[in-house]
Structure 1
């Protein structure tokens, strides 16, 4: 696992030079590794379930630099690691976890890929963060739904240098995080040029931007756009995960393409385009590719 260091060195990558303490660990990793690996909900298969301590441990052992963690909230205000609408797949029955109390959620037990009980419970965000305080950077996803309550909750952990918070680039979010520039690692999600322009014109200074594109002809990933974003000192995040055939996130440059047709045809092209962080379901394979690619470039 990555050990968080509390020092005051200036880290630079691709022209980025920041003294802001909150950002330096992420930039240190980028300087050290070249391209960062973000793992989708942790690494889960068999009996290990996503968005848990176990899936985070697994992901870091398989090469994760960042672990995505989805957040939901019980009706009595307790935060859990869980992706909404996944109840049928993970419990074998349909219900809405977000309509339940914490005492009810705490009694639930996940099922595994063999449809058998795992022994794992839905884990509280507090327990997950406490387990990895000082180790591992998390990307908190879907948390923008609860920011009014979530941010005061996160304040208690004093680990904002390990938490990347993302949201759509709505004005209310950009305004909020602009006031927290020196406190929180923020990453807006941009799907079109209108959203990119809104982010660039705003006073906010995000650490990164997640670019969503349907094909390689999209202006969102043109050389001109990527150049502008790099000039603005934004790290570029691409999501190679396939969540469904109609939900295209990184055009044709997917995990599937990388694995089936060759790493250079997927992950390699994302790196060549200038992406600093690649989200994947296959961290060990991406780590191996990253290492082999770096050896060839030396």
Structure 2
């Protein structure tokens, strides 16, 4: 049996190691200070009663128990968030994929349309909120003004509890420029020989799209779907600017509720508990997506 002897570094190797650590130390210090420390602090605060003004008081699992048993708003928040994520994330992926498929065809002024479709992804969220507030306002919005001009009734897109969440989902589908670009790169990487072989076999455009384009894009569909779920659970800025959680708590999403507890009510312990529950929820949904992906995701290099 060979005996293991540890390698002893020479003086030059130690000098290179120290030099490398010195170069990486600014990033490492920032990572520990701005990532690890806040993460561990929030875990500690989730087991305390803390209002930023007084010292944290340990309360055990009281914050978690309160959320799941006595908080009357927590169930509404979970429902609103799941509604938004489970509908918005898949529909966002579908809209991005269809836009990319359209822009992958030979159409007139294709570079211009690619820029137009990608434009919403680079516009600041506050600008997006102002534009859609102008378009969807029930009194002076452009869409309702057009409906009134046609003799049709106005639609309370953002002021109706039944329409507020679907309206936000439509805006989310509109702003899928980043996912569209990723899909576009994927579609351009699909081997042309597959389409040529399908044409020889008599396949029409729909058969090519369903049996070639979609299967070859499933790894990227999975990626965009996971990212959509992660960002959907953390959605805050656009709903906060457009509806503020209303009307009647219809768009009181998880991140908004967390923000209220932290900075409106100064319940930092409860807000930290909410953050860790959200972390667990995201992990669960991500694991479920990965576990089920073997049934519908195709990787070109894997064996049957």
Confirm or deny a common fold (TM above 0.5). Answer: no
Instruction: Answer 1 or 2: higher relative contact order, Cα 8 Å, separation at least 6.
Output: 2
Which structure has more helix as a fraction of its residues? Answer: 2
Which structure features the higher share of strand residues?
1
- TM-score tier (shorter): under 0.3
